[in-house]
Amino acid sequence: MSYHAHVLAYGPYSSNIADCLEFPAEFYEDLPMSSLVTTTLFDCVTGTQSETLAKALGFPMLDFSKHVDFHVGRKTKYKVLEDEWGDDAFVLKRLANAGFTFLYLLES
């Protein structure tokens, strides 16, 4: 079975994180502060990438109990994330510090 995954991030909007979202910051200029916004990080196109992502986030790929609202912190392997996905690793950290929630979405 082939898997592909990504991380959905959602949380309160602020101008401090506008550059972390999927669309240009100017698209959010009229959005009230603290409005709920979403963005997608770490697009994985293979099962190997999906497993690498899960492990770097601190859980097994098929442990569905860990996919919802996982903790970004000590177990997060930022170096692996940075090497594989570049800027998304920094965006993850910034959004975590801004109070965002994360979902690891695995599809087959």
Residue-wise pLDDT tens digits, 67-81: 888 888 888 999 999
Enumerate residue ranges in the chain where pLDDT < 70: none
Q: What is the pLDDT of residue 58?
A: 92
Q: How far apart are CA 57 and CA 71, in angstroms?
A: 8
**Annotated domain spans of the chain:** 4-107
Q: Is 107 helix (H, G, I), strand (E, B) or coil?
A: strand
Neighbours of 28 (CB within 10 A): 17
Helices assigned H by DSSP within the chain: 47-57, 78-85, 88-97
How far is 98 from 33, CA to CA, in rounded Å?
12
